[in-house]
DNA sequence: AGGGTCGATTTACACGTTTAAACAGAATCA
DNA sequence: TGATTCTGTTTAAACGTGTAAATCGACCCT
């Protein structure tokens, strides 16, 4: 063993080259798996590199290639239970592709914060990002970064989202099948694609077969506006349909407080099938959307885009399914 | 306006220098806020830079300085409600220091995954990391990365954690004050510092004044072992003390399912004061630990360490407080 | 034997910064 | 006035890679 460069510094490609008795270029070629070098040399270089504990300097190669192998993951909130589930999947899949992931909490859907998040990502060298966007407006500031949008189609960008409309339909059909007639509807902000679709799927199917006695549009944060609470307590429906599980959770809370029993006095349905919806405390009948799959598909789409910037825009729609539980 | 270099490329420091009629070095000095240049030139350079929409290339400066301005944030799980709360605070504070944050889900406390997370971070150029570690073992693989550990002291590393023992004491005192006598204890894995401290604080204070009728050691995942469920249903205590709110939540679930009422039939207490503990559905009496503050202090500690690698090891202990709610 | 091809390897430059060191004036001082 | 400090600015050398282009042999073909 001739040249152990065990001085403090972490070894560079130059050290490896010297130790292996070849040029830097050869080492580079080997380590990038371009099959440009003869098998013998290849093996030798690899061995030496391993022996020295060499690993390529990210900053240098990023500087040279313009690629950082880092993607961003912009979520409206990490405190809600559903986004972390997506973020986790994104991170794992990205890792498989050799990308690291920046998770950023954009602070619940203010367009300014979302634009800011994108800026921060770009500034920190992210190659692209996956985002759950709260506002359609953000589209106008066409970002400097390749973006894959989750939960809604957005023209000019790749997207992955669940079949919200189909989910709404499922809810309505299930309710009808159960013999409900008078229902209340807590729909999400209709400026959001997903909320709109869910609502329309439900309403269209319900038409003529369910009476929507009241409907209140609520923000997707975990507290109900006055109007919604009032409606809940009127007790003039046998079923309350919520735009998502988080809202359903708040509804269950409110009902509990008012000592209205579920499902004896009134039934409740949600949408998402978030992690806790299955627990006895909630036990929520809901529509399951494949959260992990959303994240994984988004990552795949993004790396495809990075490799081929001019590929045609893709939109993936994932199927949903009804999960029957005790709240109905 | 002479030199608008509006060809496609994003502008470099060289473009700015040329446009401003000074050298690259001057531009660099200005933009790094070393007060080396005269006010007039300074202002001029800044203006030109802004006009060109220039922003420094991270890869290049990372290459030169050996600093990436990126920190990692290793959490055992993002699905649990408490860690995202910390992660969010970490991210915000890091941003204030000019650092971006990698959030990594180490997959619930397996030492291998934790070591792997550190490796990934190092490989992706993180300058340091903040970690909630599940296993003490990880300490042995002394990481290549400056680390600040949250939730436990760890020799040789900076740490931030709450006064777990004091919290345990608070719980016991409150229980005594309420007139309880027979209590059940769901303690966490005693291999974890935080669980151990909480338990000891409680047990020491309870000594002779509370009967700990049964005690079961449970993992910190959201499902109870048989033994625990059995104990709950024995109904031989007036109070159940849980190692944290997540466990308490599961307990409430189980009790609900068994139609045991809280707090009429039995009281429940937790630890953490996570986001939902205050909701009517849980309404949990608990000990509040300042989750956000943990994250912020950890970041401060980390950047201090990065600036002064040889500073003495610091450990910050944060105070806790009792939050009275409806479950007792 | 001389030109031509081909594959393996090296040479050499570029990427966009930071920063020590050199430099040029101007101000200060003996 | 000439030597000395100071201040503001520039020059130039890195940092660790990737990769086009040049180089070098070895081999093949008339």
Residue B283: closest C-alpha in chain A: A253
**Do the strands B158-162 and B211-218 form a parallel or antiparallel pair, or are they unpaired?**
unpaired
The answer to whether the Cβ–Cβ distance between A68 and B59 falls below 8 Å is yes
SS3 B220: coil
Res B24 pLDDT > 70: yes
Please tell me whether the peptide bond between B263 and the residue prior to it is cis, using omega within 30 degrees of 0: yes
Annotate B113-148 with DSSP letters as a single string. Answer: HHHHHHHHHHHTT-SEEEEE-S-GGGGTS--SS-EE
B3 has pLDDT over 70: no
Residue of B nearest to A254 (CA): B280
Measured from Cα to the C1' atom, the residue closest to D19 is A25
Cis status of the peptide bond prior to B29, with omega within 30 of 0: no
What does strand C contact on the protein, if contact means CB under 7 A? A 21-26, 29, 36-38, 40-41, 60, 63-64; B 9, 12-14, 24-25, 28-29, 31-32, 54-57, 60-61, 63-65
The answer, yes or no, to whether the previous bond of A263 is cis (omega within 30 of 0) is yes
Our measurement of CA B67 to C1' D23, in angstroms, reads: 38
Cα separation, A233 vs A114, in Å, equals: 36
- On the question of pLDDT at A311 being above 60, the answer is yes
Nearest CB to A103; choose among B55, B103, B250: B103
CB-based contact A150:A298 (threshold 8 Å): yes
Cα(B92)–Cα(B88) distance, rounded to whole angstroms? 6
DSSP assignment of B59-127, as one string?
A: HHHHHHHS---EEEEEES-SSSSHHHHHHHHHHHHHHHTT-EEEEEE--SS-HHHHHHHHHHHHHTT-S
Strand D interface, protein residues by Cβ within 7 Å: A 9, 12-14, 24-25, 28-29, 31-32, 34, 54, 56-57, 60-61, 63-65; B 21-26, 29, 36-38, 40-41, 60, 63-64
Going by pLDDT thresholds of 50, 70 and 90, the confidence category of residue B328 is confident
Q: What does the pLDDT average to over B267-292?
A: 92
Q: How far apart are CA B206 and CA B200, in angstroms?
A: 10
A68, A79, A250 ranked by CB distance to B84: nearest: A79
The reply to whether residue B79 touches residue A79, judged by beta carbons under 8 angstroms, is: no
Which of A187-191, A205-209, B20-24, B116-120 has the least mean pLDDT? B116-120
Give the C-alpha separation, A154 to A114, whole Å.
Answer: 15
Give, to the nearest 10 degrees, the angle between helix A245-257 and helix A226-234.
Answer: 60
Q: Which residues of B touch A100 (CB under 8 A)?
A: 102, 120-121, 124
Structure confidence at residue B280 (pLDDT): 79
Across the range A53-78, mean pLDDT stands at: 91
Question: Residue A317, CB half-sphere, CA atoms under 13 Å: how many?
Answer: 9
pLDDT at site B1: 38
Residue B211 has pLDDT above 70, yes or no: yes
Beta bridge mates, B316: B160
Residue pair A130/A94 in contact (Cβ under 8 Å)? The answer is no
The pTM of this model reads 0.85
Nearest CA in chain B to A95: B120
| CA neighbor of A42 nearest in space, from A10, A16, A7 | A16
Q: What is the pLDDT of residue A4?
A: 41
Contacts of B121 in chain A (CB under 8 A): 100
Residue nearest to nucleotide C10 (CA to C1'): A23
How many residue contacts between A and B have a Cβ separation below 8 Å? 114
Token reading at A99:
């990308």
Q: At residue A176, does pLDDT exceed 50? A: yes
Instruction: Identify the three-state secondary structure at position A104.
Output: strand
DSSP class of B284: -
Q: Which residues of B touch A81 (CB under 8 A)?
A: 79, 81
Per-residue pLDDT band at A13 (split at 50, 70, 90): very high
Class of domain B164-288: alpha beta
CA–chain centroid gap for A156, Å, is 19
Provide the angle, in degrees to the nearest 10, between the axes of the packed helices A13-20 and A39-52.
Answer: 120
Position A304 pLDDT exceeds 80:
yes
Q: Which has the closest alpha carbon to B249: B269, B226, B219?
A: B269
Q: pLDDT exceeding 90 applies to what percent of chain B?
A: 65
Q: What is the mean pLDDT of residues B284-294?
A: 96
Q: How far is it, in rounded angstroms, from Cα B205 to Cα B268?
A: 18
CB contact under 8 A, B78 and A78: yes
pLDDT value for B142: 59
- CA at B152, C1' at C23: how many angstroms apart? 55
Strand arrangement, sheet containing B147-150: B100-105, B70-75, B128-132, B147-150, B158-162, B315-318
Residue B222's pLDDT is what?
Answer: 79
Does the structure show a pLDDT above 60 at B5? no
Round to whole Å and give the CA distance between A64 and A25: 14
Work out the pLDDT band at B81, boundaries 50, 70, 90.
confident
Contacts of B84 in chain A (CB under 8 A): 78-79, 84
| Mean pLDDT over each residue of chain A, to the nearest integer | 89
Per-residue model confidence (pLDDT) at position B44: 95
The more confidently predicted of residues A221 and B205 is B205
CA torsion, ordered A215, A216, A217, A222, to nearest 10 deg = -130
CA distance B327 to B252: 9
Average pLDDT over residues B181-196: 94
A318 CA, D2 C1': separation in Å? 85
Contact B281 A281 (CB under 8 A): yes
| Contact at CB, B79 and A84, closer than 8 angstroms | yes
Q: Answer whether B78 sits within 8 Å of A87, measured CB to CB.
A: yes
Q: Which of B240, B266, B172 is nearest to B210 (CA)?
A: B172
Residue A138 CB partners (closer than 8 Å, separation 6+): A111, A114, A115, A118
Question: How many whole angstroms separate alpha carbon B206 and alpha carbon B172?
Answer: 6
Provide the pLDDT for residue B247: 93
pLDDT at B305: 92
Q: DSSP E strands: which ranges in A40-122?
A: 70-75, 100-105
Closest to A122 (Cα-Cα) out of B302, B53, B20, B51: B53
Average pLDDT over residues B108-132: 83
Domain ranges of chain A: 13-56, 164-288
Integer angstrom CA distances of residue A128 from A92, A311, B87, B289? 16, 15, 22, 36
Task: Say if residue A112's pLDDT is above 80.
Answer: no
pLDDT band at B4; cut points 50, 70, 90: very low
How many Cβ atoms from other residues are within 10 Å of residue B33's Cβ? 8
Q: How high is the pLDDT of residue B87?
A: 93
Is A6's pLDDT higher than 80? no
């Amino acid at each position: 063993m001739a040249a152990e460069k065990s001085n403090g510094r972490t070894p560079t490609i130059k050290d490896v080259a010297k130790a292996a008795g070849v040029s830097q270029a050869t080492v580079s070629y080997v380590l990038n798996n371009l099959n440009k070098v003869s098998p013998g040399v290849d093996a030798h270089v690899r061995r030496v590199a391993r022996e020295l504990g060499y690993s390529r300097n990210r900053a240098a190669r990023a500087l040279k290639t313009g690629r950082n192998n880092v993607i961003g993951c912009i979520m409206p909130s990490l405190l809600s239970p559903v986004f972390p589930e997506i973020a986790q999947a994104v991170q794992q899949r990205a890792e498989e592709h050799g990308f690291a992931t920046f998770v950023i909490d954009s602070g619940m859907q203010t367009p300014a914060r979302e634009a800011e998040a994108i800026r921060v990502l770009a500034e920190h060298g992210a190659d692209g990002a996956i985002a759950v966007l709260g506002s359609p407006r953000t589209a106008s500031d066409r970002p400097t970064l390749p973006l894959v949008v989750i939960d809604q189609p957005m023209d000019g960008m790749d997207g992955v989202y669940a079949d919200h409309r189909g989910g709404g339909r499922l809810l309505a059909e299930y309710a009808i099948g159960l013999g409900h007639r008078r229902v209340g509807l807590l729909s999400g902000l209709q400026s959001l694609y997903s909320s709109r679709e869910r609502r329309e799927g439900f309403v269209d199917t319900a038409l003529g077969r369910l009476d929507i006695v009241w409907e209140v549009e609520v923000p997707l944060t975990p507290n109900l506006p006055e109007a919604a609470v009032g409606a809940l307590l009127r007790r003039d429906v046998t079923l309350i349909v919520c735009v998502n599980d988080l809202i359903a959770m708040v509804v269950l809370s409110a009902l509990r407080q008012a000592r209205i029993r579920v499902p004896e006095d009134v039934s409740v349905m949600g949408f998402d099938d978030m992690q806790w919806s299955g627990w006895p405390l909630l036990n929520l009948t809901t529509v399951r959307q494949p959260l992990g799959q959303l994240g994984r598909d988004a990552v795949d789409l993004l790396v495809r885009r990075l490799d081929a910037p001019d590929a045609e825009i893709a939109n993936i729609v994932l199927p949903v399914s009804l999960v029957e539980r005790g709240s109905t």
